[in-house]
């Protein structure tokens, strides 16, 4: 990888495969170089002097240790390179190796960060932001299903030496969705400034979730402790029930959203579809704060349907609609 940004020397990349997969090495090297260029723009210089991509015959499947990543032989046998898998393992050079996580919940700082890095790389490489929203929605579905089947604990309670319930879904899937929600809460500029600052400040050092939380508040310029408390300190995710009623004058609709206590605090996109053949659709944004939120939205006709969080940005079960006879 050619010098870029603050890295002044070329970065040597190498790929070690079994003889049967020698012809796959070029594709892995090309993709690895693209991944590193992308991460360097976001997270700062690659933290080591080289990167080797190594095919291995056995468990653990994928592992990103200092300056090299090991990938199971199956991934070299597949015709299509598993971009997310490779991008996840390379992301560990920043998250897990250079910034070494500490304390309870520490795996969130490596696994969720590596996963979300791989998701955004996948969306950028695919040139399609829908890749990211689909991935977030899939992660939320996997998390709710596995947590219901196997039990779970809060991200802040997870201990690498004591796996509980659906721990992988909690760290990899919910954990990465939490980062996505933090990005939506802070805005792209502040969020990526935060990741860059976190990588810089703890480069070749240790960091705990509290360090990241403090930096997040600084990058956002406001308190975000509530965000970390509700998303890392609690199990589960949001479960909304909603209803709506058209005003007699037909120029506004009253939307009611309720959730079990303690209520999650979130800003939620709302898609409002009007009656009539045109089926006009408007997007609004509402704030949920109390568990029983009511808001009047201006509309230009009778409302036929309302969709909460149409982009699927939140860790939320499918919302339940209560028919008010609207
Ligand atoms: Zn990992």
What separation in Å is there between the alpha carbon of 66 and the centre of ligand 1? 13
Rounded Cα distance between 249 and 246, Å, is: 8
Cβ burial, residue 256 (10 Å; 0-12/13-18/19+): middle
Assess contact for 319 and 242: CB atoms under 8 A.
yes
List the structure tokens of 96: 């897990």
Q: How far is the CA of 72 from the centre of ligand 1 (A)?
A: 13
Q: What is the pLDDT of residues 146-182, one digit of tens each?
A: 999 999 999 999 998 899 999 999 999 999 999 999 9
Q: CA–CA separation, 34 vs 38, rounded Å? A: 6
pLDDT of residue 277: 59
- Residue 220, both tokens: 């956002």
Interval between CA 315 and ligand 1 midpoint (Å) = 21
Q: 291 alpha carbon to ligand 1 midpoint, in Å? A: 35
- Contact 230/215 with Cβ under 8 angstroms? no
How far apart are the CA of 101 and the centre of ligand 1, in A?
Answer: 13
Residues of the chain with pLDDT under 70: 60, 277-279, 325-326
Ligand 1 centre from 9 Cα, in Å?
27
Integer CA distances (angstroms), 17 to 27, 63, 69, 70, in order: 12, 15, 12, 10
Query: Distance from the CA of 92 to the center of ligand 1, in angstroms?
Result: 7
Any long-range contacts for 157-160 (C-beta under 8 Å, 24+ apart)?
157/104, 157/105, 158/104, 158/105, 158/107, 158/108, 159/104, 160/106, 160/107
Reading the block at residue 142, the tokens are: 């996997």
**CA distances in angstroms from 326 to 182, 276, 277, 297, listed in the order given:** 35, 15, 18, 15
Q: Alpha-carbon distance 64 to 136, whole Å? A: 23
Q: Is the dihedral of CA 21, 25, 27, 31 positive or negative?
A: positive
- The residue assigned the tokens 């020698």 is 22
How far does the centroid of ligand 1 lie from the alpha carbon of residue 269, in Å?
A: 31
CA of 263 to the centre of ligand 1 (A): 31
Say how many Å lie between the CA of residue 64 and the centre of ligand 1: 7
Say if residues 120 and 151 touch (Cβ distance below 8 Å): no
Residue 140 CA, ligand 1 centroid: distance in Å: 18
Q: Who surrounds ion ligand 1 at CB < 5 A?
A: 111, 114
pLDDT in tens, 234-258: 999 999 999 999 998 889 999 999 9
Q: Which tokens in the block code for residue 148?
A: 């219901």
Which residues are 52's β-sheet partners?
14, 68
Q: How far is the CA of 202 from the centre of ligand 1 (A)?
A: 19
* Cα separation, 125 vs 202, whole angstroms: 28
pLDDT given at position 279: 65
SS3 127: coil
* Those residues with Cβ within 8 angstroms of residue 156's Cβ, 6 or more apart along the chain or in another chain: 104, 105, 209, 232, 233
Burial of 175 (0-12, 13-18, 19+ CB in 10 A): buried
Q: Give the pLDDT of residue 213.
A: 98
Distance 175 CA to ligand 1 centre (A): 12
Tell me, in angstroms, the distance from the centre of ligand 1 to residue 138's CA: 18
What is the C-alpha separation between 18 and 73, in angstroms, rounded? 8
**Spatial CA neighbour of 62 closest among 96, 98, 33, 27:** 96
Dist. CA 207 → ligand 1 center (Å): 17
């Amino acid at each position: 990888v050619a010098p870029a940004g603050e890295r002044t020397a070329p970065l040597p990349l190498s790929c070690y495969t079994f003889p049967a997969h020698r012809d796959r090495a070029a594709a892995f090297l090309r993709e690895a170089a693209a991944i590193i260029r992308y991460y360097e723009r976001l997270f700062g210089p690659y933290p080591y002097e080289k990167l080797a991509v190594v095919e291995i015959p056995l468990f653990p499947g994928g592992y990103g240790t200092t300056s090299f990543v090991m990938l199971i032989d199956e991934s070299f046998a597949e015709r299509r390179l598993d971009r997310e898998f490779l991008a996840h393992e390379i992301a560990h050079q920043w998250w897990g190796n250079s910034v070494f996580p500490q304390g309870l919940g520490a795996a969130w700082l490596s696994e969720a960060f590596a996963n979300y890095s791989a998701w955004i790389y996948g969306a950028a490489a695919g040139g399609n932001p829908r890749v990211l929203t689909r991935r977030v929605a899939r992660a939320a579905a996997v998390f709710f299903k596995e947590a219901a089947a196997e039990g779970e604990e809060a991200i802040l309670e997870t201990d690498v030496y004591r796996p509980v319930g659906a721990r992988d879904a909690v760290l990899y899937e919910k954990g990465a969705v939490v980062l996505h929600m933090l990005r939506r809460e802070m805005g792209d500029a502040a969020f990526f400034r935060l990741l860059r600052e976190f990588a810089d400040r703890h480069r070749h050092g240790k960091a705990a979730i509290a360090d990241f939380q403090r930096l997040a508040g600084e990058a956002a310029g406001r308190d975000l402790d509530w965000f970390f408390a509700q998303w890392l300190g609690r199990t589960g995710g949001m479960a909304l029930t909603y209803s709506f009623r058209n005003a007699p004058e037909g120029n506004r609709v009253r939307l009611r959203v309720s959730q079990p206590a303690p209520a999650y605090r979130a800003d939620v996109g709302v898609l409002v579809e009007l009656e009539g053949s045109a089926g006009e659709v408007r997007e609004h944004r509402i704030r949920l704060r109390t568990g029983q939120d009511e808001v009047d939205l201006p509309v230009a006709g009778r409302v036929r349907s309302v969709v909460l969080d149409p982009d699927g940005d939140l860790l939320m079960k499918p919302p339940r609609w209560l028919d008010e006879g609207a």
